[in-house]
Amino acid sequence: MDLIPAPSSAVRRPDEDFPLDAATTLTASPALADAERWLRATLSAATGLPLGPGRPGEGIELVLDDALAAEAYRLTVRPGHVLLAAGGPAGAVWGAQTLRQLLGPDAYRRSPLRREGWVLPGADIEDAPRFGWRGVLLDVARHFLPKSDVLRFVDLLAAHKLNVLHLHLTDDQGWRLEIRRYPRLTGRGAWRERSMVGYRAAQRRDDRPHGGYYTQDDLREIVAYAAARGITVVPEIDLPGHTQAAVAAYPELGNSDVVDTAALGVWTDWGVSHNVLNASEATLRFFEGVLEEVLELFPSEFIHLGGDECPKEQWKDSVAAQERIRELGLANEDELQSHLIRHFDRWLAERGRRLIGWDEILEGGLAPGAAVASWRGFGGGVAAAKAGHDVVMCPEQHVYFDHRQADGPDEPIPIGFVRTLEDVYRFEPVPGQLDESAARHVIGTQANLWSEFTDSARDIDYRAFPRLVAFAEVAWSELPTEPAARDFAGFEQRLTTHLKALDALGVEYRPADGPHPWQRRPGVVGRPLEGPPPVR
């Protein structure tokens, strides 16, 4: 049946198919209304069939089964009845995605190519995910992505049973969410005068203003749209580094005794700016105000506060920062950063939320309730898990999808290490050195799409797909934990069918034999790294 991601169990019943026609009905338990609504709208658009409401025990029926886990489902296809039993709303959404997949690639179109001949193959399918956090980071700070493209990306995540959209909303190069009490964050911080084209070594710029932001209503819409498809949106507000856009909007947030913060603009370079937040009480109050509005918009348990790549030079040179270190009884600048992260860890915990940050938050001491997104290899995640902290594994050497997919001159703006489709399929999120207790703290895995070199949805499609398909199977399916034991050839065979579904969805993925001419960026300099990725 060429299902991706591979289900826990799938048995084909060749003589027990269920044909769909104008009389086919669709009904569901009230708790599964989101899945029912999505399935009816999607299949009606693709098939031209009305799929009106019916009676229990006939047609296509969605029911709750308390014996199943929340994201688990069981799909039974017989000639007179299709029964999708789910442990909760999310399980019903994932089962509905499988049901669509069983109808073939044409079921992914928005208008029918035919109105007859639709058949669900007879089958017994039981399924549940390996990890509870199956995430993708979308960086909308470096290059803004319009809301319509974000909603399309949500649909693509849902089609692959990925359930976390990590929105990287703020950085040195732009602030992308409306904060009503601080209007200059978007009035000034949401646009830059120009952008660097390619890697910094070429010193090439486009001299075109770039910007955009999401209103609070936009974000409420994105969150609700994602939730109806089983996806949680986790916002990232980066601090204390990666904050030049915020300092450009509100200069009092920066280290004004070291640099003329009033003269700073939103950064037009890629990389890591040295203009970071100061550590004053006033700055803490400012970001508490930001986060109060963030919590109103995002109901997610986790709030990502970055904590990565914070240069300490300004703090070392700042009289105010050094006084702050002495006042708090801290040993050094690392502990000053830890103080900021610990403050917001407590602040979020008091409001029933949890902080997650990049693995640099381990430096200077990890906040008690914080979870770690381990990006600099596995080391930070291993240390955090052994210390009893939850971990999301997203090592750059394996699942940074801005990294190039092949060697050769045709790869557009080639950066980082070569990470092929097979490399991604053989990625194992749980390191072997973790014992059973520590391994339970690996709550999931995530692929990251940084956007310095992707300035449109077409670029995102190219870098993400089909590698994101392989990643989805790694995150969902119970594959052998030994990477060499995984059946990549079998996956490739199933992918042949799945690529037709991506074609129907309009996804401009990278062809196996290299980019189309219009997917190349000749003359735009990248930064390809040679040799195998380092093991950290």
> Over the stretch 482-522, which tens digit does the pLDDT of each residue have?
999 999 999 999 999 999 999 999 999 999 999 999 999 99
Calculate the dihedral angle through the C-alpha atoms of 147, 152, 154, 156, rounding to the nearest 10 degrees: -160
Q: Is pLDDT above 90 for 526?
A: yes
Q: What share of the chain is helix, strand, coil (3-state, %, to 5)?
A: 35, 20, 45
Identity of residue 392: V
Q: Is pLDDT above 80 for 533?
A: no
Confidence of residue 320 (pLDDT cuts 50, 70, 90): very high
Q: Is pLDDT above 70 for 536?
A: no
Confidence of residue 535 (pLDDT cuts 50, 70, 90): low
Mean pLDDT across the chain: 97
Check 143, 168, 242, 304 and give the catalytic one.
Answer: 242
Check 127, 171, 172, 218 and give the catalytic one.
Answer: 171
**Helix intervals (H) in 88-235:** 89-102, 147-159, 184-187, 216-227
Q: Is pLDDT above 80 for 323?
A: yes
**pTM for the model:** 0.98
How many Cβ atoms sit within 10 Å of the Cβ of residue 527?
A: 16
171 catalytic per annotation: yes
**Beta-strand runs (E) in 317-462:** 354-358, 371-374, 391-393, 415-416, 442-449
Q: Using one digit for the tens of pLDDT, what is the confidence trace for 247-286?
A: 999 999 999 999 999 999 999 999 999 999 999 999 999 9
Alpha-carbon span 376 to 357, nearest angstrom: 12
Q: Decide: 46 and 137 in contact? Cβ < 8 Å.
A: no
How many Cβ atoms sit within 10 Å of the Cβ of residue 473?
A: 22
Q: Decide: 94 and 71 in contact? Cβ < 8 Å.
A: yes
Check 2, 124, 149, 309 and give the catalytic one.
Answer: 309
| Percent of the chain whose pLDDT exceeds 90 | 97
Residues whose CB is less than 8 angstroms from the CB of residue 521 and which lie 6 or more positions away in sequence, other chains included: 198, 412, 413
Confidence of residue 297 (pLDDT cuts 50, 70, 90): very high
Phi, psi of 223, rounded to the nearest 5 degrees: -60, -45
Q: What is the pLDDT of residue 530?
A: 83
Domains of the chain: 9-127 (3.30.379.10), 133-528 (3.20.20.80)
Angle at 295 between CA 292 and CA 266, to 5 degrees: 70
Alpha-carbon span 93 to 80, nearest angstrom: 22
242 catalytic per annotation: yes
